[in-house]
Structure formats: structure tokens, C-alpha cells
A and B are shown apart, each in its own frame.
Chain A
């Protein structure tokens, strides 16, 4: 067992976890933050994407112990009260989701992409979302949403 302390969506948590506990399992099973999804469990799909100290990571491919001392933001930490984050709003407006399973990861990956590159071209959006799969193949509207979010966040 390993003792860890980390900040999730602004709240400090101290937990004792099995050494093999994945970060996504800590978030979902220990902290009840089930907005972060597990799609493939093989580092391919990006549904489990969260921000670790401001950068997008796949929480299924990280140990909770490696996040000791880190600051994590999950999809639950994006909205401010009733006001959706601009990326969430853009996904809603552009109908950038069909079944919605990949959406939390897509939104977290998009927010990270726009932080690095506030005005991406189509090619840069494809490259920036390469770590996220939408099995409904709704990519056209996802790219639209990224562009709308980029506009509103200017």
C-alpha cells in the first residue's frame, strides 16, 4: 500500500491505495468521479483523459502513486457552477457527440490542445486529437466544436 496526497478539481485528497491502483480507478472507484471513462484499457482510446499538472494524460496508463503531489482536473472540474466550460458548450452546440462515451476524454484533450495552440488548423486538430477515438465516428462535428471553442475562448 502507498499513501498519496493529491488535488482533484481543487479539493485535496489523502488516500492509501494498493501500489498497482491505476489513476483512473482512484478517480472512479475511490473518489466517485465516474465522468472519466474507461473505453479500451489499452491506452488507445483516450476516454480516460484527465489533466495532470495542466497536461493531458491517459489516466488508465498511470499509477495513482505516480500522481502523488499532483493537481488533477477531470471533466467534473470543467464547468463553473451552472456555466459550462467553453469546450463543453461548443460540444453541445455543434452536436459533437452521438453516444457520448468518448466525450469527457475528447473535451479534456481539446482543452489541453487549445491551451498549447489557441488557433489550430484542421490538420493541427487532427494531430492534437490523435489520442482520442470516437467509435460513432462523429469526428466532423468534433472538429467543428474545437473550432467554435477556439473562437469563444479568444
Chain B
């Protein structure tokens, strides 16, 4: 690994000040993506600013008709939280499917969302549930937050503090994991919300996206078989040595059907 300076932020304000003073620094929460990236020499930050332990970024609570989760909450804590399991069981299920147990013990919600890996699980839940990303500067709607492969609305040094999930009537997530990494080859999150049905797809395209045809079909009738007649256009999907874009298009439909089956169960 290249040399860097490790800085442990004492508070959210301290982290923001450290990021401002060191423009080539990187913020680190669990480090489950960043550290492997550094070990492969794919990034060379001057400093790592550790925000993983900040109390301002922790906590899980239901507030009114929302579930609020601190950005530094680890996947294990989301997966095992009685509060999450009761409020949005699909979110606890999703958290328990990320990576492997060791990764879930370190990786965090905020880190996953800020990194916006096109095959990460959490972005699909944040987008489908119409969540709000609260940073140290502002609130950003999920529809505006995710901007394609590893791209988000976050400015340099802006820090995700918590995510506010409106409670859905019901929700379900199904993914086809890559057998080695556990990342989604295709994952579909369906949320039946007060504002209608929202469907988000991860793993298949260059970034998480809403599957508008599925949303329209489910708006016409939230019932078994509603997604059967849909054709998923493969044109803009990812293609690599793991799968062709046509294969991924088929996976999207299969995962969509499985998620719908689970939602209606």
C-alpha cells in the first residue's frame, strides 16, 4: 500500500474540517471497499479520515412514520436490529445478504451509499423506499442522489450522516449474488409505499435505477404475474465476463418476479 496519514475524526465537525484542510484525503467508515482499493494501488489519498466510530453517525430509531439509521451503522447491526426487522423487514434481510459475515461486521450503510457501487445492495433499498440522505450540509432525495457508476450528488468532503426511510406498507428484495463476491449480478427491491409502488434495480446497469415498466405494471395491479409479460431492454445493461447484458436482463425479470412473490406472500 502507498503511504498515507491516518486521522481519527473526533466529531462530525472535526471530520469536515479535516476533509476541508486536506483536499486529497478520503473519508473512511468501515473501509470494506476503500482498504481493498488502496491495497491494489487503485487510489492514493494523502490522508484517511476515519469516521467509523462517530456517535453522531450511529443509531437506529423509528421516528413518526420513518426509520432513521445512522450512516456508520454496520450491516450486521441493521440485519440483527429488532427495530429494523419490525419496521422494514426487507431492509434487515438485504443487510444480511451483503458480502459475508466478516464484511457485515465492519461495512456501513453510509459507506455503501456514498460509494454507490453499481452492484451494491443498499442503493436499491434507498431508491425504492424513496429515502432521504441527510448529510452534514443538506438533505438529498434518493432520486437525486444516485448518479451512475460510483457517482453521487455528494460534494467533496460532504459527509452522509443518516438515512431516513419512510415506512412502506410492505417491501421485498431479491438478488442473484455473484457466487464469489456476493455482489448483486441483479437485485430488485420492490416497495409498496404511500406514494405508489417503486421498483429499483441494482447490479444490472451502470448504476442503480428505477424500473419504470415494472412500476407501471404494478400500479395497474399489485398481483401475482404482474411482471410476467414485461420485456427488459438489455441495451444499457452491463456486460462483462460474468454475464452478457441479455443474461442480466433476464436476471432482472426473474429477481423482479421473486421479489413480487415474496412481497405478496
Binding site for B on A (CB under 8 A): 2, 18-20, 22, 41-44, 46, 49, 52, 55-58, 61-63, 65-66, 68, 109, 112-113, 116, 128, 130-132
- Report whether B101 and A20 are in contact in the complex, using a CB–CB cutoff of 8 Å: no
Contact B6–A57 (Cβ < 8 Å): no
Tell whether, in the assembled complex, residue B102 and residue A65 are in contact, meaning their CB atoms are under 8 Å apart. Answer: no
Chain B, 1-42, contact with A by CB distance < 8 Å: what is the 0/1 string?
Answer: 111111010000000000000000000000110011011100
Q: What are 23 A-B pairs with beta-carbon distances under 8 A? A: A19-B6, A20-B4, A20-B6, A20-B38, A22-B1, A42-B39, A49-B102, A56-B105, A57-B106, A58-B102, A61-B32, A62-B31, A63-B35, A65-B50, A66-B50, A109-B102, A112-B101, A113-B101, A130-B100, A130-B101, A131-B101, A131-B103, A132-B100
In the complex formed, the residue of B with least CB distance to A112 is B101
Please determine whether B100 and A63 come into contact, CB atoms closer than 8 angstroms: no
Q: Are B36 and A65 in contact (CB under 8 A)?
A: no
Given A22, A66, A113, which contacts B52 in the complex, CB threshold below 8 Å?
A66
Verify if B206 is at the interface (C-beta below 8 Å from A).
no
Known A62-B31, A63-B31; contact A131-B100, beta-carbon cutoff 8 A: yes
Contacts of A43 in B (CB 8 A): 32, 35-36, 103
State A52–B102 Cα separation when bound (angstroms): 10
Interface centre among A20, A22, A44 (most CB of B within 10 A): A20
Whether the Cβ atoms of A61 and B8 lie closer than 8 Å is: no
Residue of B nearest to A53 (CB): B105
Q: Across the interface, which residues of A come within 8 angstroms of B35, CB to CB?
A: 43, 61-63
Residues of A within 8 A of B31 (CB): 61-63, 66
Q: Which residues of B contact A (CB under 8 A)?
A: 1-6, 8, 31-32, 35-36, 38-40, 48, 50, 52, 76, 80, 99-103, 105-106, 180-182
Contact at A46–B100, with CB atoms within 8 Å? Answer: yes
Chain A residues, Cβ within 8 Å of B5: 19
Q: Find chain A residues with CB under 8 A from B39 CB.
A: 41-42
- Closest Cβ of chain B to A41, distance in Å, is 7
What's the minimum C-beta distance from A142 to chain B, rounded to whole angstroms?
15
Contacts of B3 in A (CB 8 A): 18-20
CA of A43 to CA of B36 in the docked complex: distance in angstroms?
Answer: 7
Closest to B181 in A: A44
CB distance from B94 to the nearest CB of A (A): 14
Nearest B residue (CB) for A50: B102
- Which residues on A sit within 8 Å (CB–CB) of B180? 44
6 tightest A-B CB contacts, nearest first: A131-B100, A19-B6, A130-B100, A131-B102, A55-B105, A65-B6
In the complex, what distance in Å separates the CA atom of A125 from the CA atom of B181? 18
CA distance A132 to B36 in the complex (A): 17
CB neighbours of B52 from chain A (8 A): 66
Contact B106 A61 (CB under 8 A): yes
Q: How far is the CA of A108 from the CA of B80 in the complex (A)?
A: 20
